[in-house]
Structure 1
Amino acid sequence: MTAPQLETPVLDDHLHLDPRHGRGMAAVEDFRNLGGTHLLVVNKPSWHLGVEPEEPDDFRAVFEETLEIVAEASELLPGRAWPVLGVHPGLISRLVDDRGFTPKEACELMCGGISVAAEYVADGDALALKSGRPHYEVTEAVWETSNEVTRHAFSLGAEHDCAVQLHTEASEDLRELAEWATECGLESHCVVKHYASGRLRGPTPSVMSERERLERAAERGDPFLMETDFVDDPDRPGAVLGPKTVPRRVRWLLEEGYEDAVRLAHVETPRRVYGIDTEATLDR
């Protein structure tokens, strides 16, 4: 059943789609039928797609598959989807702990993978980059290496005038990362903290669409985005949030009187961070 159309664009800022193993376009249809209009589709971690990279070009298979998924999703949406490409920071643990890479070797491979992702941005095929550092405890060498990879992503974001989505530890203060971005020439508001709470100092928060977090973000009035981090993994059906969540939470925010916050999250902040126009790309 299709819900009544919302009088606003509805963007999920961070989710994954996996037609090979997961729900794929059925998840996109669920999002659309509840009122969703736009998606930022982040490539799944390379190992989830059976890619164990030895060199940077090995990531191309992951990126190309993501572009195909995005094109298919765009056909189903009243708005469109955009790809966000990069290297999941958890890869460093697989490389160092499981495959015998040194932190330096892992850094070179991961930086190379993000450089390949940046080629797609330069060609106009991808919207933004993805990077970050582990959200779990690691050795000091791995931590420093991960920070080096993140700085590389910031430099590429500055070079190609694109945002960088970050996967990091849980925190409400990431001013240091925002400062690193600025030092690399990337404006701090173009750094997006994926899986954010309703409060964040430094980057732009992409807030997990739970009511408490969203209410906190709406009350603050600062720029924010909304996401589900839907993983589209049949082995983890209850993991994170489902594809219907963002449109449902937009309806709830409107019912609670947060019209300005909805416009901020789905029109103004996407324009400011990514340079996208969710109204002009909406076919009503």
Structure 2
Amino acid sequence: MLDAETPVLDNHLHLDPDNHRGIDAVRDFARLGGTHLLVVNKPSWHLGVEAEAGEDFRYVFERTIEIVEEASEVLEGRAWPVLGVHPGLISRLVDDRGFEPAEARDLMQAGLDVAAEYVADGEALALKSGRPHYDVSDAVWEASNDVMRHAFEHGGDLDCAVQLHTEASEEMTTVAEWGEDAGMERHQVVKHYAAGRLEGPTPSVMSEKDRLERAAERGEPFLMETDYVDDPDRPGAVLGPKTVPRRVRWLLEEGYDEAVRTAHVETPDLVYGIDTEATLEREA
């Protein structure tokens, strides 16, 4: 087990409320010393929702909030929901369902409007958006950027972070500036699945040793994640729920105590305004 005073936060993972491990994955995380989770809703179609209107996303958000509440009962810290619309939906809408890119943009923005309601009401911590990480047409790329900037507008209005699913890059200053243009603080723009170096947004670093070493050596704010997908067809993908506590233990063994505090106490406070120490009830 980890030291009783060390919060351990996985900044981005998914839990399936119906079809896979769900709370059992949370128990694995907690058993190895994990204390806090940011649970991002699964893509809407993974929960059987083929949205036609913004309101159709509400079921996805409600189910996510429900499993987050269950997760908090298991953890010695707590979990928070991060709600939004997966950027890959645009390809599903355009390629499979015959939407024009502008129609897909409007639907996805309407879904973000619903997600923002939960942040405004205090039921969710942050929003999720982004753009495809694969090649798309210019029209789909432009529509996706419009969706992402719409999320930033909500982030600015609500003073909340926006987690981004995007292409792999170590230079996203322009995207961070879009967030600032919408009234956000630059550090509230978070790139999930980040490498150890990133210019612009706050990196949420995939918890592989080489990436974490780069982030720790860099000395800048960063978060740690697994992007665990809780998919019965891909057990353990992307990284398993035990990974973050194991990597925290490894970082401490390697002498990166300050980096652990950065990732699990200081950056969560900076980005989300959450206190992982005050919400920790682990017994010594």
Structure 1 residue 4: deviation in Å?
A: 5.1
> In 2 relative to 1, CA 186–166 (structure 1 residues): closer, same or farther, beyond 3 Å?
same
Query: Who is 1:273 aligned against?
Result: 271
Alpha-carbon deviations, 1:47-74, whole Å to 9, x = none? 0000000000000000000000000000
Match of 2:12 among 11, 14, 26: 14
Query: Could you say which residue in structure 1 is the equivalent of 2:181?
Result: 183
TM-score between the two structures when normalised by the length of structure 2? 0.98
1:240 Cα offset (Å): 1.0
In structure 2, C-alpha distance between the alignment counterparts of 1:96 and 1:70, rounded to whole Å: 31
Q: CA deviation at 1:238?
A: 4.0
Distance 2:102 2:213 in 1: 42
Partner in structure 2 of residue 45 of structure 1: 43
Alpha-carbon displacement from aligned partner over 1:68-98 (angstroms, at most 9, x marks no partner):
0000000000000000000000000000011
1:163 maps to 2:171: no
1:19 deviation in Å? Answer: 3.2
2:52 is aligned, of 45, 51, 54, to: 54
Q: Does 1:68 align with 2:66?
A: yes
TM-superposition CA deviations, 1:160-197 (whole Å, max 9, x none): 11000000000000001001111111111000000000
Counterpart Cα distance in 2 of 1:232 and 1:214: 23
Structure 2: which 5+ residue stretches go unaligned?
none
Percent identity between the two aligned chains: 76
Identify the residue that residue 209 of structure 1 maps to in structure 2.
Answer: 207
Deviations 1:227-252 (A, max 9, x none): 00000011011421000000000000
How far has the Cα of 1:6 moved from its partner?
4.6
* Distance change (3 Å), C-alpha of 1:283 and 1:6: closer
**Distance in 1, Cα, partners of 2:20 & 2:229:** 9
CA distance in 1, matches of 2:126, 2:76: 21
After TM superposition, list the pairs within 5 Å mapping 1:87-126 onto structure 2.
Answer: 87-126=85-124
1:123-176: CA deviation from partner (whole Å, max 9, x where unpaired): 000000000000000000000000000000000000011000000000000001
Match of 1:28 in 2: 26
Task: Please report the TM-score for the alignment, with normalisation by the length of structure 1.
Answer: 0.98
Cα deviation, residue 119, structure 1: 0.2
Give 5+ residue unaligned stretches, structure 1.
none
Moved over 3 A (4+): 3-7
**Conserved? CA contact 2:230–2:236, under 8 Å:** no
SS in 2 for 1:85: strand
Computed over aligned residues only, the root mean square deviation of the Cα atoms, in angstroms, reads: 0.8
Note if contact 2:17-2:63 (Cα within 8 Å) is conserved in structure 1. Answer: no
What is the distance in 1 between the residues matched to 2:186 and 2:126?
Answer: 14
Q: Which residue of 2 aligns with 1:174?
A: 172
**Aligned twin of 2:253:** 255
Q: Offset at 1:5?
A: 4.6
CA–CA distance in structure 2, aligned partners of residues 75 and 42 of structure 1: 18
Structure-1 separation of matches of 2:130 and 2:232: 26
Measured in 2, the distance between the counterparts of 1:223 and 1:4 equals 22
Q: In the aligned structure 2, how far is the partner of 1:39 from the partner of 1:4?
A: 16
Aligned partner of 2:15: which letter? L
Of 191, 194, 197, the residue aligned with 1:193 is: 191
Question: Which residue identity is paired with 1:94?
Answer: R
SS in 1 for 2:224: strand
